[in-house]
Chain A
Amino acid sequence: MMIRYMILSPSDEARQTFLGRLFGSFELAPRGGGEKKTLTVSGGDLEVVGAGRPGKLFEIVRKLLAGGVRLDGILVLIPSGDEGSWKESRQINNWLQENQVPLSMKSWVFGDLSDLDKETARKALLTLLSEHERVLTE
């Protein structure tokens, strides 16, 4: 059994700061293709994958899901003032609802990288986890 969450952000630095501060380490995909961290617990794994490029957030999610990649949740990290990413985050949310994709999603706007401290990153991921739990128990 595996739960897979995606940290989606147009900023490589934001994703890597988030994963690095929360988990201490993560794997980098070759040629800048994203990040991955696997947390193993008894009964299964939590896989957290990082991905995103400016202006391509919606396209990435749509292509991954259309390609059969299973995701259980998405946490969108949006740099403050990045209107484009905010709109894309709304677009993803609408698309998931229209297509009845059972996937939990939370968006989080941060000011600068110092906002992505370990405690805040932990809270953000736990919020996504609670949302996921709520969807499963409904």
Chain B
Amino acid sequence: MAEKMREKILVVDDEENIRHLLRLAFEADFEVVEAGDGAEALEKAIREKPDLILSDIMMPRLDGYGLYRKIRSRPETASVPFIFLSAKKDVDERVVGLEMGADDYITKPFSIKELKARIRSLTRKFKELDERGSLKGLLREVDLVDIIQLVEMGRKTGMLQIESPLGDGRIFFEEGLPVFAEVGKWTGVDAFIVLLSLKEGRFRLDQQPVPIKANIALKRSQELLMEGVRLADEMREAQRHLPSPDTVLAPGEGIPKPAENEELALVVSTFEGGKTLEEVTRAQNLPPFRFFPLVREALSGGYLKGPTDEGRKIDLLRKVRQVLEKL
């Protein structure tokens, strides 16, 4: 029986032990080709025609960003999915990776299991979109940023539908650019960014004409993606520092409302009389990526009064207990 054709991955890293580790991890499932720097990788990408490139950033001769530019500028390699693999974990680097248009961005130290899952998912999605003209999946398995970049790279026109805990959302694309977005109470750029931050829900992408008037005007989607990823990170960071949703918050006594920041003042006033964070989150109209950082700012500035340190610790202990009991 003929052996099934395996997908080929080009692993680019100047550290031999990392390449060795990746080869060990992937050779059972993929054909692995190695390169020690960007220049060697470019030669191998042209010769070997990999199905996906997994590249480090900091390398001698030609670094990961330089390699990415060259790969995308050559017709024979322009559509190969590209994942940056970097030791740099900070958000700025992640944003640079996205600005370049890389299809994914994974930081070291990485989980081989996670990396394998993302590689499988990305190569499958590329094929599915090419072959069937549509694709669907779960947001916990595929990042929406990947899908949007895939649409931009293929200059597709169509509709991305998202079912999420925040409600049903839609993004229309015209030749790869987002032209319309809506979800829940939000429309346009706000809706686009809210959708980008979703980690739970289902999506479906169909190629079709755009039957609706644009509410987003862009020349490239990369700026919006960068901004969206930055705001989503800020939102998650703010949420990490907030008390649990059932915590009652109220404006601080004797502290004037922040006059210089209208949105902050508005957020503080929505807690008038004492309301739970969950209650206000549902009732107010600011998109979550603006609302949660403002609540955090209001708490740290004393404009909102939260639970005591002991109260927050007890709350945290309860959550830790739940996690420990499920381990």
Contact = CB atoms under 8 A, between A and B. Distances in A.
Nearest to B317: A133
B96 interface: no
A42 B313 CA distance: 12
A22 B321 CA distance: 13
A101 interface: no
Q: Binding site of A, secondary structure by majority: helix, strand, loop or mixed?
A: helix
A124 B71 CA distance: 55
Interface string A20-43: 001100000000000000010111
Interface in B303-321: 310, 312-317, 319-321
A43 B314 contact: no
B140 interface: no
B324 A136 contact: no
Contact of A23 (B313, B322, B327): B327
Nearest to A3: B316
Contacts of A132: 317
A72 B312 CA distance: 14
Given A43-B240, A43-B312, A43-B315, A129 B320 contact: yes
B314 A42 contact: no
Nearest to A126: B324
Interface stretch (B76-84, B200-208, B241-249, B280-288): B241-249
Contacts of B5: none
A41 B327 contact: no
Given A23-B327, A42-B244, A43-B242, A126 B317 contact: no
A43 B321 contact: no
A125 interface: yes
A41 B314 contact: no
Contact of A44 (B240, B322, B324, B327): B240
Given A1-B241, A122-B324, A44 B316 contact: yes
Closest 8 CB pairs of A and B: A41-B319, A44-B316, A46-B320, A136-B310, A43-B316, A133-B317, A136-B314, A1-B312
Given A126-B325, A133-B314, 9 more contacts: A41-B323, A42-B240, A42-B244, A42-B319, A43-B240, A43-B243, A46-B316, A122-B325, A136-B314
Interface of B: 239-244, 310, 312-317, 319-325, 327
Interface of A: 1, 3, 22-23, 39, 41-44, 46, 72, 118, 122, 125-126, 129, 132-133, 136-137
16 contacts: A3-B316, A39-B320, A41-B320, A42-B239, A43-B242, A44-B240, A44-B312, A44-B316, A46-B320, A72-B313, A118-B327, A122-B324, A126-B324, A129-B321, A129-B324, A133-B317
